[in-house]
C-alpha cells in the first residue's frame, strides 16, 4: 500500500509531526485526501465485464463515488458511473483507557487511534455510509449513533478532540454491553491496543460474529512496546492505577518480555482469525495512509 504523499508543508507521513499541525477535523480531511492522491493510477488490466462503466479516479472527483468493490479486485481507485453505492452501517469503537496514553518516542497511542478513527469516519461518510462513534474504557464513555449526515463528522471530531485517556478497561464486559444495542447487521471497527485477557475477549467477539456483524480489529501499538529498547534501569508507572510504579533492569527482563509479548500477539491474531474477523497491527510511527489502506483491505475481505 502506497504511503500518502506530503501536501505542501503538511507532514502526512509523520503522525507525530502531523498531530501538531491543526485540529483533528482538519487533519483527518488532509489525511484522507492525501491517501487518495497517493495511490498509483493505471488503466484496468484484465478487469471483468462488470466494471465496463467505470472510469479512473482523478483529483477533484468526489470520494463517495469510489467503487470499493472495484478497489478490492484491482487495488486501484475507480469511479462507478450511473449507479448508487449500497450504504454501509459502521460502528467505530475507540479505546480511551489510561494505557492508551503511552507514547514513548512517538505520538501517544490514543492520539493515533483518535486521528485514525476520524479519518476513517470521514472517508466512510464521504461515500454516504452510516457511521457511529463510541469511546470506552471500563465503561462506555461517549456515543454517537450512526448517521449518514456529513455534518455529523464535526460532532465526531469534537467528541474525539475532547476525550482523554484514563481509567482501567475491560474489553469483554464493555463489548458485551454494546452488542445488544447494535440491532442491524453492521461493520464494527475497534481501535485499541487490546491489552486484556484474550480468551474472554474472543468469546465476546464470537457473539458479534454469531449476530452476523463484520469485525475489523485495529491494534495500535508503540514501537517500544515491541522492541523494548530501554538500556538503563527504568522506572515504569501504571497509566491506569495511580501511584503504581516499578523499577526494572531492562537487560534482565528484555528476553522474557519480548517472548511473552510475542506469544500474546500471536494468540490474539490467531484467535481473531479463527472466528472470522479481521486483524491489523499498526505502529504509532506508521503513516495514517498505511493504516487506512489496512482498514480498506480488511473491509474488502469482510464482504
Taking the mean position of all CA atoms in its chain, how far away is CA 117?
6
Per the model's pLDDT, the better-predicted residue between 148 and 253 turns out to be 148
Last residue of a domain, one of 80, 98, 124: 80
- pLDDT at 108 exceeding the cut of 80: yes
Higher pLDDT, 109 or 300: 109
227 band by pLDDT with thresholds 50, 70 and 90: confident
123 and 271 belong to one structural domain: yes
Grid cell, residue 25, equals 477535523
Q: Averaged over 140-167, what is the pLDDT?
A: 94
Stretch among 78-87, 151-160, 185-194, 212-221 having the lowest mean pLDDT: 78-87
* 241 shares its domain with 264: yes
- Count CA within 13 A, CB hemisphere, residue 15: 28
**Do residues 65 and 96 both lie within one domain?**
no
Provide the pLDDT for residue 54. Answer: 61
Contacts of 9 (CB under 8 A, 6+ apart): none
* Count of the separate structural domains present in the chain: 2
Say how many C-beta atoms besides its own lie within 10 A of residue 47's C-beta.
15
pLDDT given at position 186: 95
The CATH number linked to 251 is 3.40.50.410
CA distance 114 to 303: 25
Distances, alpha carbon 251 to alpha carbons 222, 234, 246, 258, in Å: 20, 11, 15, 12
Instruction: Answer yes or no: is pLDDT of 298 > 80.
Output: yes
Regarding whether 111 and 69 lie in a shared domain, the answer is no
Residues 197 and 287 placed together within one structural domain of the fold: yes
Which of 31, 56, 80 corresponds to the end of one domain? Answer: 80
253 plus 135 within the same structural domain = yes
pLDDT of 59 reads 65
Do 106 and 206 lie in one domain? The reply is: yes
Per residue in 192-223, pLDDT (tens digit) is 999 999 999 999 999 999 999 999 999 999 99
What integer pLDDT is reported at residue 242 of this predicted model?
59
5, pLDDT greater than 50: no
Residues 139 and 209 in one domain: yes
Q: What is the pTM of this model?
A: 0.79
Q: DSSP states of 118-172 as a string?
A: HHHHHHHHHTT-EEEEEEESSSEEEEEEEE--TTHHHHHHHHHHH----S---HH
Label residue 267 by pLDDT band (50, 70, 90): very high
Instruction: Give the range of the structural domain holding residue 123, as residue numbers without chain letter.
Output: 89-302
Q: How confident is the model at residue 258 (pLDDT cuts 50, 70, 90)?
A: confident
State yes or no: pLDDT of 228 exceeds 90: no
Q: How far is CA 43 from the centre of its chain?
A: 30
At 44, list the grid cell.
Answer: 484496468
Cα 193 to chain centroid distance, Å, stands at 10
What value does the mean pLDDT take over residues 221-244?
A: 69
Amino acid at each position: 500500500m502506497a504511503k500518502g504523499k506530503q501536501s505542501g508543508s503538511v507532514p502526512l507521513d509523520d503522525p507525530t509531526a502531523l498531530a501538531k499541525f491543526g485540529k483533528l477535523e482538519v487533519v483527518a480531511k488532509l489525511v484522507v485526501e492525501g491517501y487518495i492522491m497517493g495511490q498509483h493510477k493505471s488503466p484496468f488490466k484484465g478487469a471483468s465485464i462488470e466494471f465496463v462503466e467505470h472510469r479512473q479516479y482523478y483529483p477533484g472527483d468526489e470520494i463517495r463515488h469510489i467503487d470499493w468493490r472495484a478497489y478490492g479486485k484491482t487495488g486501484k481507485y475507480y469511479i462507478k458511473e450511473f449507479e448508487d453505492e449500497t450504504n454501509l452501517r459502521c460502528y467505530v469503537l475507540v479505546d480511551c483507557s489510561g494505557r492508551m496514553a503511552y507514547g514513548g518516542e512517538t505520538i501517544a497511542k490514543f492520539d493515533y487511534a483518535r486521528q485514525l478513527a476520524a479519518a476513517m469516519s470521514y472517508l466512510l461518510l464521504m461515500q454516504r455510509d452510516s457511521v457511529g462513534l463510541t469511546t470506552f474504557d471500563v465503561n462506555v464513555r461517549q456515543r454517537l449513533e450512526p448517521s449518514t449526515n456529513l455534518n455529523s463528522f464535526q460532532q465526531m471530531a469534537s467528541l474525539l478532540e475532547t476525550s482523554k485517556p484514563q481509567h482501567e478497561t475491560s474489553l469483554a464486559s464493555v463489548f458485551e454491553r454494546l452488542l445488544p444495542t447494535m440491532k442491524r447487521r453492521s461493520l464494527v471497527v475497534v481501535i485499541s491496543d487490546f491489552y486484556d485477557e484474550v480468551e474472554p475477549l474472543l468469546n465476546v467477539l464470537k457473539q458479534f460474529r454469531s449476530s452476523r456483524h463484520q469485525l475489523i480489529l485495529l491494534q495500535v501499538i508503540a514501537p517500544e512496546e515491541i522492541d523494548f529498547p530501554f538500556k538503563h534501569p527504568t522506572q515504569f508507572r501504571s497509566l491506569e492505577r495511580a501511584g503504581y510504579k516499578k523499577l526494572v533492569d531492562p537487560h534482565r527482563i528484555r528476553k522474557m518480555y519480548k517472548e511473552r509479548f510475542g506469544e500474546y500477539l500471536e494468540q490474539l491474531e490467531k484467535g481473531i482469525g479463527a472466528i472470522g474477523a479481521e486483524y491489523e497491527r499498526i505502529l504509532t510511527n506508521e503513516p495514517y495512509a498505511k493504516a487506512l489502506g489496512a482498514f480498506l483491505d480488511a473491509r474488502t475481505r469482510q464482504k
